Amino acid sequence: MIGYTQHTQGQRPMKDDVNRRSRAKGRLAALALLLPLTLGSTAQTVLHVEESGVAAAGPEQIASLPETVVDGVAADFAPAPLPPAGPPLPAGFDVRMFEAMAQQVVADQRVPGLAMAIVHDGKVLSARGYGITDVSDAEPVDSHTVFRLASLSKGFAGTMAGLLVNEGALRWDSRLTDYVPNFQLSRPGAAQQVTVADILSHRVGLSRNYYDRDLERYVDYRTLSRKLADAPLTCDPGTCYAYQNVAFSLIGDIVFAATGDFYSQEVQRRLLKPLGMNDASLGLEGIESSARWAKPHVRGRGGWVSVMPKPTYYEVAPAAGVNASASDMAQWLIAQSGHRPDVIPAPLLATLHQPLVDTPYQTRSSAWRRARLGSAGYGLGWRVYDYSGHRVVYHAGAVQGYRGMIALLPDSDIGIAMMWNGESALPAGLLPTMLDRALDIPSDLTAWIDIDFQQPTYYAERDTPAAGSNAAAATAAPR
């Protein structure tokens, strides 16, 4: 039975079939991209810098360091230089203006509530809430209101696997069947070809979103993971892309086998807690036990109607199981931008954000993508775009009643995350608006978003005491 199992070293099949070797060329090319990055992502000792600017190191570490001259005097250990400042914030990147636009999005309940985080150079520029948590019991959304992240969770899965690669518990080319020996696919020998990197980059060989409909009919993940043995393959594993939720979540089985602990607990211990993501959680129980959380909303005859969260996609925790607030996402953006090497080493981020397979259809899937994207690919839990010549690391997510987007601009050291609790595409236009301003791309301020916005009207003054507080009037009646 497929399930959480202990590690078993499996035998790899002999590859004496010339045709099979030919089909594997594409897979080897992708792995070739990973291997040099993986070598740079191996486990390393991090020396934390104290307030004095001197790294904290024990006597043995200090004794092993080369002699250094400080102010003309030989010393065993010298003060660490301050890190260089990041790129300056672009002049047109007006955070107060973006906050005002976010407030305009929730005006008149065009969407019930929205949370947004913006960071630059490792600092939080904004982490606020807008609108209300529930049209039936109106409470303002603030910086600690928890939203369901849906597929933004995939970035957590890739990072979690990468931490295990760093410490030597996994390799990107480790075989799934080494950890889940009973796993089967419909084509003989195909299951033994699936690697950790294949799972995280949607290259298992199945057609798109396989068994998602069954998942939405409340079929449990364990049953669906076994049913993958009956699913037809469209290509050999590692040779083509098709977005998955059920198959992607096989990484949870691998994490359990490699660590002996459940995926959700490992993510909490290795990512959420050390990053200070104190509102974040995994699963339905996690969001419902939050001190403040945004209810999902669907359209009804009279307007928005709040509903209870569906448990279905929580069944696939690596694909869609994380919940978080704007405050949490600010810390996640900072870490994914390379400013928390004590938790996520920079070489690992380079690996996670490296595209492994092309996804050209993404360049046509919305107006802003058609206008801005030159190419699109998928890495390890992350999409990677060429946005008018600039690299953007991105993901979007959607489940019933929730939507979200996250984007990183490595060259500008800017990160943006947005979550909202209504089934509307309206807020999505905020993201390319901010990207255009960050990259100094000329465009109309409301080119991507249909709101009546007057630039001088700001949502929050600088001396507002409580970040995320919402002074807008809220009504519980749906419109």
Tell me what the mean pLDDT of segment 134-138 comes to.
93
Which residues are within 8 A (CB) of 108 and not within 5 positions of it... i.e. 6 or more apart?
479
User: What are the tens digits of pLDDT across the range 388-427?
Assistant: 999 999 999 999 999 999 999 999 999 999 999 999 999 9
3-state secondary structure of 479: coil
Tell me what the mean pLDDT of segment 25-35 comes to.
47
Query: Could you tell me the sign of the dihedral formed by the alpha carbons of 238, 241, 242, 244, in that order?
Result: positive
pLDDT at 208 over 90: yes
Quick one: pLDDT at residue 120?
Answer: 98
Quick one: pLDDT at residue 346?
Answer: 95
Q: Is the separation of the CB atoms in 418 and 430 below 8 Å?
A: yes
Among 62-76, 115-129, 288-302, the least confident range: 62-76
pLDDT at 274 over 60: yes
Please give the structure tokens belonging to residue 372.
Answer: 């801005």
In the predicted model, what is the mean pLDDT of the chain?
Answer: 83
3-state secondary structure of 68: strand
Which residues are within 8 A (CB) of 337 and not within 5 positions of it... i.e. 6 or more apart?
119, 122, 408, 410, 413, 415
Please give the structure tokens belonging to residue 294.
Answer: 């945004």
- Looking up tokens 């300056």 gives 88
- Looking up tokens 């009643």 gives 401
The pLDDT > 90 percentage for the chain reads: 72
**What is the 3 state secondary structure string of 439-454?**
CCCCCCCCCCCCCCCC
- Looking up tokens 């990484």 gives 251
One-letter amino acid identity for 202?
H
Which residues are within 8 A (CB) of 418 and not within 5 positions of it... i.e. 6 or more apart?
102, 114, 115, 116, 117, 404, 405, 406, 427, 430, 431
Task: Give CA–CA dist 256/56, Å, rounded.
Answer: 33
Tell me what the mean pLDDT of segment 446-470 comes to.
50
pLDDT at 30 over 90: no
CATH no., domain 95-146+292-438: 3.40.710.10
User: What are the tens digits of pLDDT across the range 91-104?
Assistant: 889 999 999 999 99
H/E stretch holding 161: helix 154-166
Domain ranges of the chain: 95-146+292-438
Higher pLDDT, 473 or 366: 366
User: What are the tens digits of pLDDT across the range 344-355?
Assistant: 999 999 999 999
Q: Is the separation of the CB atoms in 297 and 401 below 8 Å?
A: yes
Beta strand ranges found along 359-465 (DSSP E): 373-378, 383-387, 390-399, 402-409, 414-420
Task: Give CA–CA dist 321/324, Å, rounded.
Answer: 10
Q: Is the separation of the CB atoms in 317 and 220 below 8 Å?
A: no
Which residues are within 8 A (CB) of 245 and not within 5 positions of it... i.e. 6 or more apart?
151, 209, 212, 215, 313, 316, 319, 320
218: left (phi over 0), alpha (psi -120 to 50) or beta: left
CA angle 254, 255, 260 (to 5 degrees): 110
132 secondary structure, DSSP code: B
The pLDDT > 70 percentage for the chain reads: 77
**pTM, to two decimals:** 0.80
Tell me what the mean pLDDT of segment 363-372 comes to.
95
3-state secondary structure of 175: strand
Strand 322-324: give its sheet, edge to edge: 147-148, 322-324, 281-282
Tell me what the mean pLDDT of segment 425-439 comes to.
96
Tell me what the mean pLDDT of segment 254-278 comes to.
98
**What angle separates helix 154-166 from helix 250-259, to the nearest 10 degrees?**
30
Please give the structure tokens belonging to residue 457.
Answer: 């009207």
What pLDDT band is residue 41 in, cutting at 50, 70 and 90?
very low
Quick one: pLDDT at residue 235?
Answer: 96
Q: Is the separation of the CB atoms in 417 and 170 below 8 Å?
A: no
